[in-house]
């Protein structure tokens, strides 16, 4: 696949918006900053917590730092709304720090895509909630969430 095109392309339908959300979830669950960055335009603008990025290189740096801190990261994304070249999602992910303190992070993202299906803008708001290891809900092996595991709504999140 051409690295400068990421189908499905806008304008999105319900089906293609859901495909785009699942592709993003699958990519982030690789925890591979270089691979994930290829889904974004070369000058993609991000707001992620208190960090603002404007290039793929900055995205790689942000994600590298993130996954060095957020260990055993597992993410679920869910479509919230879409129109034209924009998609809104909600998400939750579980992770622990190097002291084995577990967290579930909740958030919302607003995405805007260019005509090639690359994300040009990503605005994320994220909150972390400490949890006990026994309260974890995301137990699949690291990597892609299996298709038969429930999503956020089915988990009551």
Distance, CA of 111 to CA of 122 (rounded, Å): 5
Q: Computed from CA positions of residues 114, 79, 70, 145, in that sequence, does the dihedral angle turn out positive or negative?
A: negative
Residue pLDDT, tens place only, 104-147: 999 999 999 999 999 999 999 999 999 999 999 999 999 999 99
The pTM assigned to this predicted structure is 0.95
Query: Which residues contact residue 12 at a Cβ distance below 8 angstroms, ignoring those fewer than 6 apart?
Result: 20, 82, 83, 84, 85, 87
Answer yes or no: is pLDDT of 59 > 80: yes
Segment 41-59 mean pLDDT: 94
Q: Where are the domains of the chain?
A: 14-135
- Tell the CATH topology of 14-135: Nuclear Transport Factor 2; Chain: A, (3.10.450)
Task: Please list the residues that pair with 86 across neighbouring strands.
Answer: 83, 112
């Amino acid at each position: 696949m051409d690295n400068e095109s990421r189908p499905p392309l806008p304008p999105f339908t319900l089906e293609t918006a859901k495909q785009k959300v699942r592709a993003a979830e699958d990519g982030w669950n690789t925890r591979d900053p270089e691979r994930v960055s290829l889904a974004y335009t070369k000058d993609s603008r991000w707001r992620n917590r208190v960090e603002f990025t404007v290039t793929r290189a900055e995205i790689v740096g942000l994600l590298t730092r993130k996954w060095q801190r957020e260990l055993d990261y597992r993410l679920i994304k869910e479509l919230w709304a879409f129109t034209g070249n924009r998609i809104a999602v909600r998400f939750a992910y579980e992770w622990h720090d190097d002291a084995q303190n577990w967290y579930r992070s909740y958030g919302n993202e607003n995405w805007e895509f260019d005509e090639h299906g690359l994300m040009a803008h990503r605005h994320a708001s994220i909150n972390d909630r400490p949890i006990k290891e026994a309260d974890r809900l995301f137990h699949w092996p690291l990597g892609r969430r299996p298709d038969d595991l429930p999503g956020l709504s089915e988990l009551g999140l």
